Amino acid sequence: MRGLALIHGDPTLAAGPRTSWFATRTPAGPGTLRFDLAGEELTWQAYGPGAGWLLERADAIAGLRDDVTGFAELARAHPLVHRLAREHAGLRIGATGRVFHHLVPAILGQKVSGKEARDGYVRLLRRFSEPAPGPRAGLFLPPEPGVIAATPYWALHPLGIERKRADTLRRAAAQAAALERCPDAVSCTARLVSIAGIGPWTAAEVTRAAYGDADVVSVGDYNIKNNVAFALTGAARGTDEEMLVLLAPFAPHRGRVCGLIARSGIGAPRFGPRVRIRSFARF
């Protein structure tokens, strides 16, 4: 479940060692899905008008439809990947089937620190959304696309969302219905990158969570290219182009390899000062 959160501390998710929650807006209405793990048995129940829709795809959201066929053989191409594949053999990529849900935090995560992204997202949900159905306190629904599309920029600025991301978010919200109709990750990516302000990085973050795309790689990320280069070659820094060359032998599981590296905690050495946190609300 943690893999579905594009921002640390996402209020639409709550992942625990035995119980996890996921709240979203389905075609049938708002709903909340609860997962309980007892031993090796995973069970689920749902709440709200969207409960039926969520129950029909609960196994996909949990990652149980994730196809790992052929990955064990591909992983042998590198000793570290081989080891991580064995150590995290049960790790699966979930597919929520909801695009706009993940598009909001992905846009808010563009070119800012993790704290700025999280703070803006939390404020947005508290201002423009509502608590999720069910007994889990503190869980919020993602915002309604129509509400965001109709919200002027100046109403988002006090939340710490500057004009560039605010306008991208509003444009994406206006196309949310068409995005949700995309049948697969490829068609969704094409539509996403046609929206001004959305590039390959944002599209990759969204399609991984919405469609469970195990091959997509977040090109343009500040850290991933360095972490992959360090994990696979020992180099402290790498480029996107070098990262794609290193990951090529693992297709169609390139994104899975990135996920394993991230899950293991392997990261490239950090040099220089941290990114300065700004307060757009005060500009």
Other CB atoms closer than 10 Å to residue 133's CB: what's the count? 19
Please say whether the beta carbons of 199 and 193 come within 8 A.
Answer: yes
Residue 163's pLDDT is what?
95
> What is d(CA 104, CA 12) in angstroms, rounded to the nearest whole number?
12
Q: Reading across the β-sheet that carries 29-38, which strands appear in turn?
A: 13-15, 19-26, 29-38, 41-47
Residue 79's pLDDT is what?
97
Residues 6+ apart with CB under 8 A from 175: 191, 195
Residue 2's pLDDT is what?
67
- Among 196, 212, 211, 193, residue whose Cα is nearest residue 259: 212
What DSSP string describes the chain? -GGG-SSTT-TTEEE-SSEEEEEEEETTEEEEEEEEEETTEEEEEEESTTHHHHHHTHHHHTTTT---TTHHHHHTTSHHHHHHHHHTTT------S-HHHHHHHHHHTTTS-HHHHHHHHHHHHHHH--BPSSS-TT-BPPPPHHHHHTS-HHHHGGGT--HHHHHHHHHHHHTHHHHHT--SHHHHHHHHHTSTT--HHHHHHHHHHHH--SS---TT-TTHHHHHHHHHH--S---HHHHHHHHGGGTT-HHHHHHHHHHHT------SPPPPP--GGG-
φ, ψ of residue 36 in degrees (nearest 5):
-125, 130
Please say whether the beta carbons of 245 and 239 come within 8 A.
Answer: no
Residue 203's pLDDT is what?
97
Residue 5's pLDDT is what?
83
Indicate if the alpha-carbon torsion angle 190, 191, 196, 202 is positive or negative.
Answer: negative
Predicted structure pTM score: 0.91
List Cα–Cα distances, 11 to 20, 69, 124, 262, 271, in angstroms: 12, 33, 11, 21, 31
Burial class (CB in 10 A: 0-12, 13-18, 19+), 66: middle
Low pLDDT (below 70) residues in the chain = 1-2, 272-283
Domain architecture of the chain: domains with CATH: 2-69 (no CATH), 100-179 (1.10.340.30)
**Encoded tokens for 68:** 């790992």
